[in-house]
Amino acid sequence: MPYLARPNIRYHISYLSALLEYKEEGLDAGPSAFMLQDPLVFTRYTADICAGADISFSKDAAHPPYVMWWWVEGSKYLGRISLRLSLTPYLTSYGGHVGYDVRKSERERGMASAMLAAVLPLARSMGYENLLLVCEKQNAVSRRVIEKNSGMFLDSSYDEEGKEHLRFQINLMPA
Ligand SMILES: CC(C)(COP(=O)(O)OP(=O)(O)OC[C@H]1O[C@@H](n2cnc3c(N)ncnc32)[C@H](O)[C@@H]1OP(=O)(O)O)[C@@H](O)C(=O)NCCC(=O)NCCS
């Protein structure tokens, strides 16, 4: 059974191969597999991700602190999900609290739905009563992931290019 884990050297080999999959589809996943092949560099990289939750680490107001988990099974990396600890005006319109992706070879197996479901009680335990989730209108799969996790449609926002983004709220408080 896959589960959430903090980024760690244990997933090094698998993460490198996932980076190639991300690259193949043009998805920005940060430093390249080439840059991260050295275990020491990779260890530093995972430490930096874990430090992302530290407010002093996040000096840029446009990029608030976040907690990132990797969705893994054994030593295999499957995907990642991050919880942004605060919202900027940009994130309020276009990003929301949560970002996620699943490596291409693991899609359509319920990974994103399960990964989001696993993060919700953690967010609740961190004090959040509800979360804002946003996806592009064209991203029907992401919309489905949000709706499967009880996302309630709020409204649409439109970016500078006129692209429509759908905003949802997930209530974390028991009824
Ligand atoms: C969006 C994304 C995370 C979904 O990951 P996933 O693990 O394949 O999603 P799931 O398997 O949980 O599928 C969720 C739902 O979408 C459906 N679905 C998944 N892929 C589909 C596809 N290609 N076509 C039609 N439906 C699809 C699934 O059947 C499921 O619905 P169901 O439970 O009613 O059957 C993944 O496609 C991805 O990483 N995309 C690129 C990054 C991205 O868009 N991130 C989200 C930004 S808001």
Number of domains in the chain: 1
**Which ligand 1 atom is at minimum distance from the Cα of 102?**
39
CA of 57 to the centre of ligand 1 (A): 32
pLDDT score, position 174: 78
pLDDT score, position 59: 67
The DSSP bridge partners found for residue 79 are 71, 102
Backbone angles phi, psi at 169, to 5 degrees: -120, 135
3-state helix, strand, coil in the chain (%, to 5): 35, 25, 35
Question: Residue 40 belongs to what domain range?
Answer: 3-128
Nearest protein Cα to ligand 1, atom 48: 135
Q: Average pLDDT over the chain, rounded to whole?
A: 95
pLDDT score, position 97: 98
pLDDT in tens, 46-89: 999 999 887 777 667 778 899 999 999 999 999 999 999 999 99
Domain presence at residue 172: no
CATH number, domain containing residue 97: 3.40.630.30
